[in-house]
Amino acid sequence: MKKQTMQAIILAAGKSSRFNTGNTKLSFTLCGQEMIAYPAKLLSAMNVPMTLVVGFQQETIKDIIKKYAIEKTTFVEQEKQLGTGHALMCSQHTWTEDHILVLNGDIPLITHDVINALCTHHTTHDAAVSFITTYSSDNSAEGLGRVIKKDNTIEIIEARNCTTEDFTQLPLNAGIYLFNRQFLETTLLSLTPNEKTGEIYITDLIKYASDKKLTVTTINASFDNVRGVNTLKELWAAEHIKRSELLTYWMNKGVRFAAALNVCLDLDIEIGAGTFIGTGAILLNGTRIGKNCIINAFSYISNTTIHDNVEIKPHSAICDSLIHQGCQVGPFAHLNKSIIQDNVIIGNFIEVKNSTIGEDKTIYFACLGGEMGSENSNHTVQ
């Protein structure tokens, strides 16, 4: 049998009205990475070519995809945001592969495993459409579409239109679908606007397939992997889950956190075994910390390399710098675009900018002299 091929469509044109920030929610970050980059990078790593349907603040979305150099990506425009079904219609001219995977852009915690399981299930059953369901009693699931199965039929009803009394018990639609391309080509244009909202819903395709007695299959996934982000509260919840994953990863690599819940970690960081991270520490993208370091409470470190056996004392802010092994920095030090050589002590309240310190093996430390708050109160003394 000919190998089945797949391409993906990511729906990313929506107005993010429930975010209430004025900006597309897909540009907001979780652990330092924009929401839209999560599904896009995942599909790219799986070697699935993708089209993003963009509209609201489309330049912002395109810039994010460009920033990560995500390959095999094209864009189509949905000029007016007339619903998820309409967004999919806008992409029709790009369909070339046997199966079309359609994903909402607002599901940052989606994984390879979930997508692979959907593909396997879909092809094994030779389905017209397969989609992912989930269960949750979490408040943030209230607005999701409900999957109603009865008398050999299946359909998805949006929560706001759902009249079934016990609709809280029903499976939820995760917003991840795999369509046979021929099915989509023959049915998509028959979608009509919803009577109540005027929007065209992708979810109506499930009823179409079911009414035509075509095969519709579902698989269940954990809610945390497929939760949609529609509000800032849901963004906070999703980021919290992502951060917990990162904390677990680093703990398993031998990193000790004083108060893991109060630490802020980005995706693109490294921490060596035996290192201790104090409460309230903020470690942002591009930060590489060596082995057996101590990063004390409330230190802010961004895009900085720190070699082994360094101690950063509390409340230090360090950006775009390189600190060689054995140094001590802070408390309350500020380093920017600087290099600190081996075993140097940068004492309290010192600010170092655009400098290399310690080449001559001298040790620099701060000495509070003069009147508090006067311009000369911070000295660097040899």
CB of 198 to ligand UD1, least distance (A): 11
174 contacts which partner out of ligand UD1, Mg ion, none, CB within 5 to 8 A by kind? ligand UD1
Q: Which is nearer to Mg ion, 228 or 347 (CB)?
A: 228
Residue number closest to Mg ion, CB atom: 228
Instruction: Tell me the two tokens of residue 182.
Output: 């021929």
The count of C-alpha atoms lying within 13 angstroms of the C-alpha of 56, restricted to the half-sphere facing its C-beta, is 19
Q: Which is nearer to Mg ion, 106 or 266 (CB)?
A: 106
β-strands 365-368, 378-381 pairing:
antiparallel
Q: Which contacts (CB < 8 Å, 24+ apart) does range 233-239 have?
A: 233/140, 234/140, 235/19, 235/25, 235/28, 235/30, 235/35, 237/138, 237/140, 238/30, 238/108, 238/109, 239/30, 239/31
CB of 121 to ligand UD1, least distance (A): 19
- CB within 8 Å of 317: residues ≥ 6 apart: 299, 300, 301, 333, 334, 335
Q: Which is nearer to ligand UD1, 13 or 129 (CB)?
A: 13
What residue ranges bind ligand UD1 (CB under 6 A)?
11-14, 53, 78, 81-84, 86-87, 104-106, 144-145, 156, 158, 172-175, 201-203, 228, 230
12 contacts which partner out of Mg ion, ligand UD1, none, CB within 5 to 8 A by kind? ligand UD1
Q: Which is nearer to ligand UD1, 170 or 295 (CB)?
A: 170
Q: Which is nearer to ligand UD1, 169 or 248 (CB)?
A: 169
State the DSSP code for 343: T
Q: Which is nearer to ligand UD1, 108 or 347 (CB)?
A: 108
Q: Which is nearer to Mg ion, 105 or 278 (CB)?
A: 105
Instruction: Tell me the two tokens of residue 38.
Output: 């999560």
β-strands 305-306, 287-289 pairing:
parallel
CB of 78 to ligand UD1, least distance (A): 5
358 contacts which partner out of Mg ion, ligand UD1, none, CB within 5 to 8 A by kind? none
CB of 81 to ligand UD1, least distance (A): 3
Please state, as a whole number, how many other Cβ atoms lie within 10 Å of the Cβ of residue 96.
10
Closest CA to 282 of 318, 325, 306, 249: 318
- Tokens 């009249």 correspond to 163
CB of 230 to Mg ion, least distance (A): 5
- Rounded CA separation 165/267 (Å): 42
Options 105, 108, 171, 228; binder of Mg ion; rule CB under 5 A: 228
Closest CA to 23 of 240, 225, 235, 266: 235
CB of 68 to ligand UD1, least distance (A): 18
- Rounded CA separation 31/36 (Å): 13
**Contact map string, positions 95 to 114, toward Mg ion, x by CB under 5 A:** -----------x--------
CB of 113 to ligand UD1, least distance (A): 18
CB of 49 to Mg ion, least distance (A): 24
Q: Which is nearer to Mg ion, 17 or 74 (CB)?
A: 17
Helix 37-45 to helix 58-67 angle (10° resolution) is: 40
266 contacts which partner out of Mg ion, ligand UD1, none, CB within 5 to 8 A by kind? none
CB of 84 to ligand UD1, least distance (A): 3
Binding flag, residue 230, Mg ion (CB under 5 A): yes
210 contacts which partner out of ligand UD1, Mg ion, none, CB within 5 to 8 A by kind? none
Which amino acid is present at 219? I
Q: Which is nearer to ligand UD1, 27 or 355 (CB)?
A: 27
Q: Which is nearer to ligand UD1, 13 or 283 (CB)?
A: 13
Find the part of the chain contacting Mg ion (CB under 5 A) among 78-86, 197-205, 226-234, 287-295: 226-234
| DSSP-assigned letters across all residues of 168-227 | GGS-EEEEEEEEEHHHHHHHGGG----TTT-PPPTTHHHHHHHHTT--EEEEE--HHHH-
Do residues 252 and 270 make contact, with C-beta atoms less than 8 angstroms apart?
A: no
Do residues 76 and 148 make contact, with C-beta atoms less than 8 angstroms apart?
A: no
CB of 183 to ligand UD1, least distance (A): 17
**Contacts to Mg ion by CB under 5 A:** 106, 228, 230
